[in-house]
Amino acid sequence: MAMFNPAAWTLNGKLFAMLLLVVVAQHVWIYLAHRHYRKREELFRTITENVADMIALVNVKGRRLYNSPAYYKILGYSAAELAQTPVFEQIHPDDRFKVLEAAREARLTGIGKSLEYRVRHKNGRWRILESTASTIRNDKGEVEKLVIVNRDITGRKQAEELLAHNALHDAMTGLPNRRLFLDRLQRCFAEAQRDATFH
């Protein structure tokens, strides 16, 4: 059996061992980096798939780059369906200008604005969304993309309308109550006074 001979440990052997060590270290680093990014991707996917809010990424021209799975759960549209339609197609015609103006302002100022607007569900009904936009800038500091977080507030709005209605109408009959009568009477009185002052 041959024994280890220190004299045989040449410069070439040392270089080979160092090269082998570098290659192993690189493979370990690549493996750890891939594992780290896989964990981050899994975390991102878990968050976006389970968050109740709808998250969208759009470029400055309004092209959809990403729509979270919540769009399907809340509005019935798959990411593929949304990718094939213009960003304003599902927005109520009366609200489109307001949304377009908010997007334009966010691009110019770099500050997103919170607003409410109506969006058509795939079944044709209108849902009310509360939306907040944040900007993503490129290396030159120009706004390149918008991250839009939408929350369905239809139920809350319906509850507010019902409360407002019930405050002025009888719960049993649905007829206007005394409070509504006094409110309308007060308005008529104020209008009559204003008309009398102008004549």
pLDDT digits over 173-199, tens only? 777 767 767 777 788 878 888 877 766
pLDDT of res. 9 = 54
- On whether the CB atoms of residues 81 and 70 are closer than 8 A, the answer is no
CA–CA separation, 36 and 30 (whole Å): 10
pLDDT of res. 133 = 86
pLDDT of res. 130 = 92
pLDDT band at residue 83, thresholds of 50, 70 and 90?
A: confident
Domains and CATH numbers, the chain: 48-152 (3.30.450.20), 159-192 (no CATH)
Question: Does residue 36 register a pLDDT over 60?
Answer: yes
Measure the N-to-C terminal CA separation of the chain; round to a whole number of Å: 125
H or E segment and range at residue 152: strand 143-152
pLDDT of res. 162 = 82
Question: Does residue 8 register a pLDDT over 60?
Answer: no
Question: Does residue 111 register a pLDDT over 70?
Answer: yes
Kindly state the average pLDDT of the residues 81-101. Answer: 88
170 φ/ψ angles, rounded to the nearest 5 degrees: -70, 130
Average pLDDT over the chain, rounded to whole? 80
pLDDT band at residue 5, thresholds of 50, 70 and 90?
A: low
Question: Does residue 19 register a pLDDT over 80?
Answer: no
Tokens of 76: 């019935």
DSSP strands (E only) in 12-141: 54-59, 64-67, 114-120, 126-137
pLDDT of res. 108 = 83
